Amino acid sequence: MSSVGESCESASVAIDHRKGPRRRGDALYAAIFEATLDELTAVGYAELKMEHVANRARASKGSLYRRWSSRAELVADAVHHTVPGCGEAPDTGSVREDILGGLRGFANLLNGPSGEAVRGLMAETIRNPDLMEVVRTRFVEPGVNLFLEVLRRGAVRGEVRPSALTTRIASVGPELLRQHFLAHRSPVSDQVLIEIVDEVIMPLVRM
């Protein structure tokens, strides 16, 4: 870079950078979030640089740091504002299908463009307790609650033993999925989900 001559060059037209229309408020937020996810899928979390995000969004680093104090918080926000949230608990009338459906919902998220974001976020989470709290509240707890609800309905139908209605047991599915996701870079296959459900969760919860 900087290859340009260094003498009286600026003759090079008054490109006069400050030009394009300037965004504020929501428009700017949206542009930054989009740029963050684009950059994330392009180079991954580990290689994501604040400056590149700013450039891609045609924003300034100052605008980024005014809103987020770190890369992790930016990415957490970007992901959170982009993903739909884990949605409602499936209710097919069969616990097995509901659990599988719930896991598939997570897996789809992880296999999608936000997957790389989540991966990096988890790495960051390990180092940053505050961020861990944010991630737990935003991503982990809703998942556990979803499975608890599924189990509860299964118990009502007599498919699930009542003593299985615990946070610990409801966490098993998400935790195994998360662990698999962290340990393998490839997309989570449906095969794996089925294995988790049929080999672990179902034997664990049924009457």
Partner DNA sequence: TGCCATCGGAACGCCACGTGCTCTAGCCTG
Partner DNA sequence: CAGGCTAGAGCACGTGGCGTTCCGATGGCA
Distance CA 189, CA 87 (A): 21
Length, in residues, of the chain: 207
Q: Which is nearer to DNA, 25 or 158 (CB)?
A: 25
Can you tell me which of 5, 44, 46, 51 binds DNA, judged by CB under 7 A? 51
Q: Is 207 in the site for its own copies (CB under 8 A)?
A: no
Q: Residue 138 CB, nearest distance to its own copies (Å)?
A: 14
Q: Is 168 in the site for its own copies (CB under 8 A)?
A: yes
Which residues neighbour 159 within 8 Å (Cβ) at sequence distance 6 or greater? Answer: 94, 95, 206, 207
Helix-strand-coil split of the chain, %, nearest 5: 70, 0, 30
| Residue 60 binds which entry of DNA, its own copies, none, CB below 5-8 Å type-dependent | DNA
Can you tell me which of 35, 40, 59, 79 binds DNA, judged by CB under 7 A? 59
In terms of Cα–Cα distance, which of 92, 112, 110, 109 is closest to 100? 92
Q: Cβ distance 149 to 131 under 8 Å?
A: no
Q: Cβ distance 69 to 20 under 8 Å?
A: no
Q: Is 128 in the site for DNA (CB under 7 A)?
A: no
Q: Is 10 in the site for its own copies (CB under 8 A)?
A: no
Q: Cβ distance 121 to 74 under 8 Å?
A: no
Q: What mask, x for binding DNA by CB under 7 A, covers residues 67 to 96?
A: --xxx-------------------------
The backbone torsions φ and ψ at residue 206, rounded to the nearest 5 degrees and listed phi first, read -75, 160
Q: Is 126 in the site for its own copies (CB under 8 A)?
A: yes
Residues that bind DNA (CB under 7 A): 16-25, 28, 49-51, 57-63, 65-66, 69-71
Residues that bind its own copies (CB under 8 A): 44-46, 119-120, 122-127, 129, 132, 136, 140, 164, 166, 168-169, 172, 175-176, 178-179, 182-183, 185, 195-196, 199-200, 203-204
